[in-house]
Structure 1
């Protein structure tokens, strides 16, 4: 009986120690009146910004860009957008599993 209990406890420990990676996405809509040139999306607890997810593209005013986030274990992300005048718009700790972003001039840093 003791060995069976130990094996069950060990199995539970092994399963709980592996965080399950998931795929998330966030739709970001530009309503600033300006073209967005850079879009950075980083895990919420990150100390730095990851690469620009727009690459060579831009996000024109009125357009929406879907950003797919693959292999993360947590849906909370920080999002920073930079427009043609180098103004930035930062959203902290966004739960991308429940929230999309509509960026306006009200969000200017």
Structure 2
């Protein structure tokens, strides 16, 4: 009886169509030498950037901010920062479940 119940449970898991949503965060560190005024974290290959996650705040040089992601379809994200001079820094296809991000001048677009 127990074996049959376990087998049915295993089959149910194999054919389940409900995917678990990704919940996590990415820590973004500013090491550009400039204050970051805008920060966008969007699902990889999205057609538009999401809203600025800093809102009215800034991310000073040398500081880190944690961006929380809830109920996402996956953990792959494109991340863009814009500094006080309007220069942009973009990282594509970041797996935020495996790494955090540090923007440097090498990342300038």
Range into which the TM-score falls when normalised by the shorter chain: 0.7 to 0.9
Q: 1:45: Cα distance to partner?
A: 2.9
**What TM-score, normalized by structure 1, do the two folds share?**
0.85
Question: Number of paired residues?
Answer: 101
1:25 & 1:19 partners in 2: Cα distance? 19
**Which stretches in structure 1 are left out of the alignment for 5+ residues?**
1-7
Q: Per-residue displacement from partner, 1:42-98 (whole Å, max 9, x unpaired)?
A: 001311100000001100000000000111121100000000000000000000011
Written as runs of structure 1 = structure 2, the 5 A alignment for 1:60-75 is 60-75=60-75
Matching residue of 2:82: 82
1:31-70 aligned at under 5 Å gives the runs 31-70=31-70
CA distance in 2, matches of 1:86, 1:19: 39
User: What is the root-mean-square deviation in Å for CA atoms of aligned residues?
Assistant: 1.7
Spell out, residue by residue over 1:12-45, the C-alpha distance to the aligned partner (whole angstroms, 9 max, x if none): 43x1x22211211101100111000000000013
Runs of 4+ in 1 over 3 A off after TM superposition: 10-13
